[in-house]
Structure 1
Amino acid sequence: ALESVVRGVLVRARVSRWRVAATEIERAWRGKSARMDYATARCSIIKVQSAFRMHQGVEEYKLCRSGLISLQGIARGVQARNMGLDWNARGTRIGSLWRGK
C-alpha cells in the first residue's frame, strides 16, 4: 500500500511536470506563430504600399508630362508665329527696297 501511494505521488509529480513543460512549449509556439504572422502581414502591407505609391508616382508623371507637352506645343506655336511675322516683315522690307521706297 505504501509503495502504491509513493508511485501515485511520483506519477502525479511527473504528470505535473509534463503539463508545465507542455504549457511552456505551447507558449513558445504561440509566440513564434504570432511573430511569423506579424512578419507576413508587415511584408504584405509593405508590398501594397509600394505598389500604391508607384501607381501614384506614375499618374503624377503622366500628368506632368502631358502638361509639359501642351506647354511645349504652345511655345512652339508662338515661336513659329513670331518667325512667320519676322519673315513677313523682312519680305516686306526687301520688296520696298526693291521698289526703291
Structure 2
Amino acid sequence: MEQEHPLVRDVFPDLVAELTTLLEEEGERELAICVRDVRLVGECGCGDDFCQSIRTADHPQGQPYGPGHRCVPLMPSKGMLILDVVDGRIMYIEIIDRPPMHRRMAQS
C-alpha cells in the first residue's frame, strides 16, 4: 500500500526542493508539482558508491518501462539528476556523483 512508503520530501527535503527548482527551470511545471508527492519505494541497490538513486514507484526489475516513458535530465550544480517518467508519473530518480544525501530523522 502506498501510504506505507514515506514521502521523499519528508526523508530528503533538500532533494525535493532542488528537484522542484530544476524542473521549473526546465519548464516541467507539472513534474515540479508532482515531485512533492512522490514516495520513497526503495533504493537502487546497485551497490555503486556513486549512486544514490531511488525508486518512487513499483516497477519490474530489469524490464523496460514501455510506452509513455521518457527521461528528464536535469542540470544540477553537482553530479547528475535524471527522472524516469511514465505517463506523467515520476517512477525513478537517478542520483549520480553527488554529495551524500542525509536522511531527515522521522518526527515522533
In the superposition, the TM-score normalised over structure 2's length comes to: 0.16
With a CA cutoff of 8 Å and minimum separation of 6, indicate the structure with the bigger relative contact order.
2
More strand, by proportion: 2
In the superposition, the TM-score normalised over structure 1's length comes to: 0.17
Larger radius of gyration: 1
More helix, by proportion: 1
